[in-house]
Structure formats: structure tokens, C-alpha cells
Amino acid sequence: MAQPAFQPESAAYVSPEDYLRLEREADFKHEYYQGEVRSMAGAGYAHNLICANLTGELYTQLRGKGCSVVGSDQRLQIMSGSAFVYPDLTVICGPPKFNEEKNPDTLLNPTLVVEVLSPTTSQYDRSEKFMLYRQVPSLRQYLTLDAQSIHAELHTRDELDRWVLTETRNLTTVLDLSSIACQVPLAEVYANTDLTDFNS
């Protein structure tokens, strides 16, 4: 198996330009934060199934609405240029905007971002990564889904630019993804995962 172009253990500063150049040549995905390159681990079955379930639900509901859903290979640039990340799922409404016209592979204008949490990424996705996402002007909602139990946290940006949290562990809940005009039953998101650790 080919080795990644990056050596993430190196403490040397990497510029955003060098990161993008090397990332486009790499065999494996890496995220970037303030000069530091971080390799990404693979995902488990439940994680992948949750992503697939939600993608299917959104694809069906978004048809003809001018919005598109894309998966975890879509790179996103934080507007300051200090970070590049790969959300598990991204929805773009309207024409997509990219950081370079000649390389339309790094997205600038997501409407909804979803992260499926694992034990190793949960704290990062809820804190530091959410802090980065809040810097994206176009982002209206941020959804996290636990891959080990029934647990959804939906952050919605209100008209005063405040982020309002709606949290549930109830499998009968319908997620109000108002930013993309979708209503998604949590039961469909967790379908076939055999997760029963939830509060009714």
C-alpha cells in the first residue's frame, strides 16, 4: 500500500497552499489546522450505515429543490483559510462555490454539515471542529449523530447569528432540518444499526 504524501507526525509548519498541493496527490485524506496536518482514521460499519441512511433520505427529499448532498470526500475550507476539513456529509443549496476555479474541489459555501461521532472524534467534533464550522457564513445548521447510541445534536443559526441547540435521544423524533427544508425521522437515520440505547 502506498504511503501518504504527508508525514503527520512532523511538527514542521505546512502552508495552506502546500497542504492543498500535497493533499491532491495523497492516497489518504488529511485535515489541516493552522499549519498542522492531521491524518484521518477509517470509519466503522455503524458510522458508514448512518451516513448512508441520511444521505438516502436527503437525496430523496432534496430532488428538484436546488440543493445537493455530498459525502465525506468533499473537502471544506474554513473561510479564514486556517483550516481544511472533510465533513461526513455536506448539503449545498444553490451553486457551489470553490476556493479555486481551476481546482473545483474545495468547497466554501455549505448550508448544512453533518458529523457522525466516534469515541475518538466525539470531543473534537463537538468543540474545536464546531468552532471552525461557525466561521463559515453560509452554514445554517450543524448536526452531530452518535454512532454508538441514539443521540442527535442539531445546532441551528438563528436570525441574530446565535447557535441554538436541539438535542434528542428519542428514536421517534423527526429532525427539523429547516435550513434545507427537510424533515428526517431519526428512526430512518439509525435504521438497521441495531442501536437500542436510547430514551423513549
pLDDT along the chain (200 residues), means of 10: 41 90 93 92 89 97 96 93 94 96 92 93 85 95 96 97 97 97 97 67
What pLDDT digit, counting tens, does each position of 69-88 carry? Answer: 999 999 999 988 889 999 99
SS3 content of the chain, % helix, strand, coil (to 5): 20, 30, 50
Pairing of strands 106-107, 75-77: parallel
Residue 65 in domain:
yes
- Please, are residues 177 and 141 in contact by the beta-carbon 8 Å criterion? yes
Residues 75 and 22 in one domain: no
- Total tally of structural domains belonging to the chain: 2
Predicted TM-score of the model (pTM): 0.89
C-alpha angle with apex 86: 4 to 82, nearest 5 degrees?
Answer: 90
Residues 134 and 177 in one domain: yes
Which residues, 6+ apart, have CB-to-CB distance to 113 below 8 Å?
76, 87, 89, 90, 91, 133, 139, 141, 142, 143
Residue 196: per-residue pLDDT: 53
Cell of 125: 467534533
User: What range does the domain containing 158 cover?
Assistant: 43-189
Residues 159 and 67 in one domain: yes
